[in-house]
Structure formats: C-alpha cells, structure tokens
Chain A
Amino acid sequence: MMELICPAGTPAALHAAVKAGAHAVYCGFADETNARNFPGLNFSRDELSASIAFAHASGAKVLVAINTFPRAGAESLWHQAVADAETAGADAVILADIGLLAHAAEHHPDLRRHLSVQAAAANPDMINFYATAFGVRRVVLPRVLTIAEIAAINREIDVETEVFVFGGLCVMAEGRCSLSSYITGRSPNMNGVCSPPSHVDYATEDGELAAKLGGYTIHRNAKDAPAPYPTLCKGCFSSADKTGYVFEDPTSLDATELLPALAKAGVTALKIEGRQRSRSYVAQVVRSFRAAVDAVEAGRPVPPGTLARLTEGQSATAGAYRKTWR
C-alpha cells in the first residue's frame, strides 16, 4: 500500500493525523531548522519525544524535517537538531543541504535519511548522486514533474520516491527560489519561511481588500471574493498588456484522482502539505486520503474528493502532474 505522509505543525495536529489514519507524520522543531518556521508552530524537544511515543504506540512513523540550509557559522544548530531527532526516536530525518547530509551520514549512520523536496532532485542522475554520496533512502520529488517523468525516474533509481498529493503548490523548483527574500529579506532556504506573515499587510482600499507583502501589492480582491494568502508567486501582476496570475493562480494541489496512476508509476509514499494548517484541516484531509489510498489498494475506484472548501482560493489543480500545466 502507498504510505500516507501527513503534516503536523503542533502535537495536537499530530494526534489528529494519527487518529485519522496517517501512516507517518512529518514535523519539525520550532526554529529556523525547518521550512515551516511560522509563529506559534512546531515542536519543542519534549513535545517531539512525547509525540513520537504516541505515534509509535499507534503504529505510525514520525519523520523530522530539518530541511532549511544551515547558516554559515551556525551549523551546530542544525547538527544538534539531527542528533535530537535521533534521540527522540524519529523514524527518519528529511534533509536538503549537502553539508548536513554529509554530517548526518557520518555521525548518525543508523538514522534513516530522506531527501527533502527543498533539494529539488528532479532527475535520476541527481537522485542517484544523493543516494550514492549520502545514503539517502527516499526522495521527495519536486512539484515540477509529470507522472510519466516520475515513472521514468522510478525505473532508473533504487531509492523510494514520495510525491505531494494535496495542499499548497510551489510553482518554482523548491529550494531554488529567492523570491521571498528578494521582497522581504526572509527566505525558505535561510529562514524556513516564504512570504512571511510578519511582512504581510491587509488593507481595505476603495472597497477592495489589498494584500501586500513587504509593501508590494500581491492581490486586490473584491470584498467578498475568496481571499488567497499573499504568497508572492501566486499574486496578480501586470506585464506589458497582460494582467493576471503571471506565475500561478491562487490554487492548490489535489491529486486525488491521480492516485492510481501514481501507484502505477511506482511511487512509495504520498505527501500532504500543510504543517501551517489546523488540526481540523489535518484530520479532514488525512481521513479523505486514507480512504482513497485504501480504495486504490483494494482496486476500488477512488471516492470523489470533498476537500474543495479547504483549499486556497477554494480551487484545486493537478499541477505539474499533467503536462499541460507547463
């Protein structure tokens, strides 16, 4: 059966995910070592240990994301995070940085290493490089590949692949995007945040809601239209004679219908995005996807999705998995 990997921004969300049928939960420490470093989110060392004990007692795994790029001169913070994840009993760490992978391989050889989507390993040569050089056992594929490409990759590699099936959609190759720091000074790679809430302002102007990031208007919406968070690659902009969503519509990924095709493509694990979302969201999405995964396993048709109202802009796309997205 394909493994369902679910997000947890808090211990409460982790409990909700496990109860809703998650095979594994991923989470991170409450600092710059993980790529969802949002206010009020993430785990202390004690919370992680207790949560891992709870998950293991319920037969679920816990994967710890330490997937930002360590700051020069401060690598010990990231090294400590890897050591603490191992001590807490994590089933794997999810890493992106070459230096950190090398450190983990040397100092924590028995701790399973997954390659974060932030490493954007998008072809078999790259994946085999990470597998050979650092003993990576699973790769989270970037959201720029079609299903046919994923199938082709799986034929040429010996490690497991994990793909995103639901939630926020990066339009850019992950871990290779500095749009956020260009506008706000804070980036996913360095600070674990994209379009950080600290730089967001909402203002009502002429009966419209303007969402601004670092002083730049990302959206203007009529008062009652659905309101996307001002993630800068999903804004509405002008270019010459065109005005619109130049990079991506304010939409999110829903690959429910593609689960049978992903299974056929040899994918090991399915990942749900959303460590910044509430425990209620996590419970609903996990329950829905667990039912879908069970259906695929039993050869039954995938039950139709019911998650539309949870998605950004309340619309969903199959993203890059269909070639027309490009």
Chain B
Amino acid sequence: MPLEPMSIALSRLVRRMIRAHPGLLERLGEHGNRRFAIDPTDLPLCLLIQPRAARGTVRVYRHPPASDARIAGPLAALLGLVHGTWDGDALFFSRDLVVEGDTSAALALRNAIDDAELDLGLEISAFAGPFARMLQPIIRFAERRTGLPLRRMEDPE
C-alpha cells in the first residue's frame, strides 16, 4: 500500500473524530501538542499522530519515526484499547502493550480516547468519499487480523 494516500485518509479520519468528540482534545490538554507513535508490532507500519497539528494529522511510516511517546503492541490490542473492549492497564500488565517516552502523554491519550467512547466502525462508515474507499481494505484487514468486530454492539442495559 502506498503511504502518502493512507496518511491523507487517516488524517481526515482523525480530524473528523476530533471534531465529533471535542472532549478528546480537552482531556488531552497540553499533551495534545505531543507526537504519538502508534506502532502495531505485527504490521510493517507505524502511525505518527499529532492531535493538535493542523486540527489533527496522521502520517504513516514504514519504521517507527521520532516521537514524544510510543505505544506499541499487536494491532488487536491497540484497536481493542481504542474501542474500549480492553483495559489499557490490563494490556500493559500482561505486556501486550509497551509504552516508551512521555508516559504522561501516553496516559492522557489513553484516558481521552477511553472517555470519547469511539466507535471505529461508525466513524469509518460516516466517512464517505474516495478516501473512505481507500481505508476499506485496511479495515477489512484489521478485522480479519484481530478478530475484533469494529462496529460496537449496543451495551446491554
């Protein structure tokens, strides 16, 4: 997959999510200016997310770039964390997740994402146009690879 279009598509997705969940940046506070490397260790890719740069930017790299905080783990663990399926601390205690660099920033990001109750499936399906088509193979790949349905089931009352 070419990296540049993926970077553009993911930046748009993250910008949409930031607009839809103003609490994300609020909770991140000063940490929103940090560069977060999100490193799925079972993929030959690494995302560099800058929440406050140009209302949210994502760049895709072949190898982990310089960053303020790096959160590394299998794609399933990372997606499960975003999706609220799994607890970040539990993933860390089990060594499924590794955090390096600015631990405060990583923690703030984790907490902000947890509170936003993101539904990746919804976010992505609400994201139409050519860039969405570009993301579809990634989503299908992620679902296959992780066994995680990325659309949230309604919580039982």
Using a CB–CB cutoff of 8 Å, the interface residues on chain A facing chain B are 9-13, 16, 19, 38-41, 44, 196-198, 200-203, 209, 223-229, 276-281, 284, 309-314
Contacts and interface: CB of A to CB of B under 8 A. Distances in A.
Interface string B97-108: 011100111111
A309 B94 contact: yes
A279 B84 contact: yes
Q: DSSP majority for the B interface?
A: helix
A9 B89 CA distance: 13
B107 A281 contact: no
A136 B90 CA distance: 36
Nearest to B27: A40
Nearest to A309: B90
Interface of B: 26-29, 31, 81, 84-90, 92-95, 98-100, 103-112, 114-117, 155, 157
Contacts of A200: 103
Contact of A201 (B29, B103, B105): B103
A11 B103 contact: no
Contacts, number: 104
Contact of A278 (B87, B93, B155): B87
A280 B115 contact: no
Contacts of B29: 39-40
A228 B28 CA distance: 24
A278 B110 CA distance: 9
A248 to B, nearest CB: 15
7 contacts: A16-B155, A19-B157, A196-B104, A226-B94, A276-B89, A278-B87, A309-B90
Given A12-B116, A200-B103, A201-B103, A40 B110 contact: yes
Nearest to B115: A10
A37 to B, nearest CB: 11
Given A40-B31, A277-B87, A202 B103 contact: yes
Given A39-B108, A278-B114, A280-B85, A19 B155 contact: yes
Contacts of B87: 277-278, 280-281, 284, 310
Query: Which A-B residue pairs are the 3 nearest by beta carbons?
Result: A40-B111, A40-B108, A10-B115
Nearest to B109: A40
Contact of B107 (A11, A40, A224, A280): A40
Contacts of A229: 89, 92-93
A311 B89 CA distance: 9
Nearest to A224: B95
Contact of B98 (A38, A202, A226, A280): A202
A10 B89 contact: no
Given A39-B107, A226-B94, A13 B114 contact: yes
Contacts of A228: 93
Nearest to A311: B93
Contacts of A314: 93-94
B88 A278 contact: yes
A312 B93 contact: yes
Contact of A279 (B100, B108, B114): B114
Contact of A277 (B26, B89, B109): B89
A224 B97 CA distance: 11
Given A19-B155, A202-B103, A41 B95 contact: no
Given A40-B110, A203-B100, A284-B87, 18 more contacts: A10-B114, A10-B115, A12-B116, A13-B114, A13-B115, A39-B111, A40-B111, A41-B111, A197-B107, A200-B103, A224-B95, A228-B93, A229-B89, A278-B110, A279-B115, A280-B87, A309-B94, A311-B93
Contacts of A202: 98-100, 103
A9 B90 CA distance: 16
B86 A280 contact: yes
A39 B93 contact: no
Contacts of B103: 197-198, 200-202
A11 B23 CA distance: 11
Contacts of B95: 223-227
B15 to A, nearest CB: 20
A227 B111 contact: no
A94 B97 CA distance: 34
Contact of A12 (B94, B109, B117): B117
A277 B107 CA distance: 10
Nearest to A202: B100
Contacts of B26: 44
Given A40-B107, A202-B99, A227-B95, A281 B155 contact: no
